[in-house]
Amino acid sequence: MESLALYIHWPFCRAKCPYCDFNSHVRESVDQEPWKNGLLAELAFIASHLPNRCITSIFFGGGTPSLMPPATAAALIEAAARHWAMDAACEITLEANPTSAESAAFSGFAAAGVNRVSLGVQALNEADLRFLGRKHDVSEALAGVKLAARYFPRYSFDLIYARPGQGIASWKEELARALDHADGHLSLYQLTIEEQTAFHAAVERGEFALPRDAMAARLYEVTQEVMEIAGMPAYEISNHARPGHESRHNLAYWRGQEYAGIGPGAHGRLVIPPECAGGAARERGENWVATATLKSPERWLQSVQTKGHGMEIWQQLGVRERQEEALMMRLRLREGFARDEFPLLDAAAVAKLQTQRLLEDHEARLRPTAKGRLLLNWLTAELLAA
């Protein structure tokens, strides 16, 4: 029985963070029952196309899924278990903010079946929390982390670095404090300025600037050094874990495994049964399908209520397209990949990139060097140049 990771998108937030370009929306109120029914309907639609799967992970993302009623999470977990087999070690993650209001619901989510929480802490000093538009302060964030440790077998939290004016010493202090409160996993992201965000408009107006490239690179290097010493090396570009604490759900993405996405703006990569892949595509074995749902919450819900799903894209992937996508994901991982996993690899390009010390052999697998990890898009193009 093939494994399947399931992503469930809850699109609503109390406020839009100025750096966020995710599919998140602020609404004064949300009618909960239609949303629960809509997600259940789309889940049933996906299940009808994917028989004989075993769920290895469920991830409630957003938006802010900790704003949904725990009963909705419970209903979705129960429905997934009816549609498919559930792995005995199934990882069920909930994204949450560490505000006292959201932390108060942790007991309900634990009872619903959630066994891992990922907290959006983002900074451990007051000035940067305000700059990032967060609604919690440091003490509230750490209280949320403590409560997560009480209710869930595993937890993680995020920090954003390379913030304006951030120095090496202050970032080391912040990392040390984070490690004092960490379980076995931390996600550490460099701040990027995305289009159509409040930060993008602010930068365009000249209100602030990110650290120069050399400083950002040094902050990245320091992050790797500190986390290696702490026994939580990067298993992916921005994710650090003690052995055995890696995010099972995110590894499914990065290893190019099958995953389904439901809810507004959710993406999936599915292997549909051969009998459903028509014509020449079926003959070539191209039965990987890329899916994406309508991004607008209201349009998605209306579509689900009329058609049983909110799918906007259901597109077969060609062999090369699939290889490019999978290689890009695999290059993010410290574990690397075996050459025979990618028959379209350009052997001459591999040799050249090794000479340039951008790619290395490690335990009979190829992986980017520290320098190469900063050039992933370019590396992918070079490796599949033939």
Class of domain 2-251: alpha beta
- If 0-12 CB within 10 Å is exposed, 13-18 middle and 19+ buried, where does residue 63 land? buried
Confidence at residue 284, expressed as pLDDT on a 0 to 100 scale: 44
In this prediction, the residues of the chain whose per-residue pLDDT falls under 50 are 277-285
pLDDT in the model for residue 375: 86
Domain 319-386 belongs in CATH node 3.30.450: no
Strands (E), the chain: 2-10, 12-13, 25-26, 53-62, 85-96, 116-122, 154-161, 185-190, 234-236, 239-241, 259-262, 267-271, 288-293, 311-316, 359-362, 365-368
Write the secondary structure of 11-70 as one string of H (helix), E (strand) and C (coil): CEECCCCCCCCCCCEECCCCCHHHHHHHHHHHHHHHHHHCCCEEEEEEEEEECCHHHCCH
Tell me the pTM.
Answer: 0.94
pLDDT digits (tens, 9 = 90+) for 133-182: 999 999 999 999 999 999 999 999 999 999 999 999 999 999 999 999 99
The pLDDT of residue 282: 43
- Tell me the CA distances in angstroms from 361 to 72, 339, 347, 355, one per residue in order: 46, 10, 13, 11
Domain map (residue ranges) of the chain: 2-251, 319-386
Question: What pLDDT is recorded for position 274?
Answer: 64
